Chains A and B, each alone.
Chain A
Amino acid sequence: MNILKKIQLPTGILTWITLIAGVWLVFNVPDDFQQGGAVKILYIHVPSAKMALLSYLVVTVASILHLWKRSETADILAEAATSVGAAFTAMTLASGSIWGKPMWGTWWAWDARLTSMLVLLILFKGLMVLRHSLDDPVKGARATAILAIIGAVDLPIIHYSVVWWRTLHQPPSLSAGSNAGIHIAGPLLTPLLILTVAFMLLTLYMTTVKARQIEARRRLDALETARMHADE
């Protein structure tokens, strides 16, 4: 876990630089001809959604590693990425809802994309509750890892929801392939790409901070348990 200590400060600095650059661009590029100023919301919404999915992918991979290698480092990473992912998912849903009110005339619709993202938030919260609901932390970690792996089925559902179903939600904003997704003009694409990078760094930074907090808490719990047994 020493690597977390080494990367935290440089990641934090880079996050600030890219966030400031991205937000400055957001407020200095033209508005969208259809959405007007509301397009500025999407510069937060789209990167948040990407990071929510990336975080769950990290949780899934870390959970597999934990079950396979019995790695506590992987379990700490899974727990950290769960908290970070929940924050990004909440931001995605909130920013999407605030964008949807002036654009769609509604705060919410039971659309495939929105519903599957809500399921993702419930999954993140469920993972947190399950881990702490079992008295034995080892069993809690195993049960959480199993649930995380099962819940990973939501990731392709979220990603392909706008392709598989006729949805209110627009097709992907950023996609591989020239015919996929929406064509975004250059001046509007640049801040989106910069903020996506900024949010990746933010995700890494927040995961680092949370992982160090979790590791410190586990070390303290272990010391206190050892002290209790020594006193007996």
Chain B
Amino acid sequence: MNDYTPYVAAVYVLAIAIFGGYTFRWRASWKKLQKQLDDHEQGIP
């Protein structure tokens, strides 16, 4: 039987990179925007 481990590993690593990466990026962006909104509410330029 052929060894498919490199192919399987590549898919799972890619899944973590894509889904984890985008989620992390969007959360970080949201937190930054929320801070700017909070600063604006408090009158901080």
Interface size class, chain B: 20 to 34
Nearest-neighbour CB distance to chain A for B17, whole angstroms, equals 10
| Number of A residues, CB within 8 Å of B | 32
Our pick among A37, A212, A213, A220 for the contact of B8 (Cβ within 8 Å) is: A37
Interface string of B8-22 (1 = CB under 8 A from A): 101110110011001
User: A59 interface residue, CB < 8 Å from B?
Assistant: no
Q: Using Cβ atoms and an 8 Å threshold, which residues of chain B touch A156?
A: none
Our pick among A37, A94, A209 for the contact of B27 (Cβ within 8 Å) is: A209
Our pick among A36, A84, A91, A216 for the contact of B30 (Cβ within 8 Å) is: A216
Q: Is the interface of A mostly helix, strand, loop or mixed?
A: helix
User: A124 interface residue, CB < 8 Å from B?
Assistant: no
Nearest-neighbour CB distance to chain A for B35, whole angstroms, equals 10
Nearest-neighbour CB distance to chain B for A183, whole angstroms, equals 22
Given contacts A37-B8, A209-B23, A209-B26, contact A95 B14 (CB under 8 A): yes
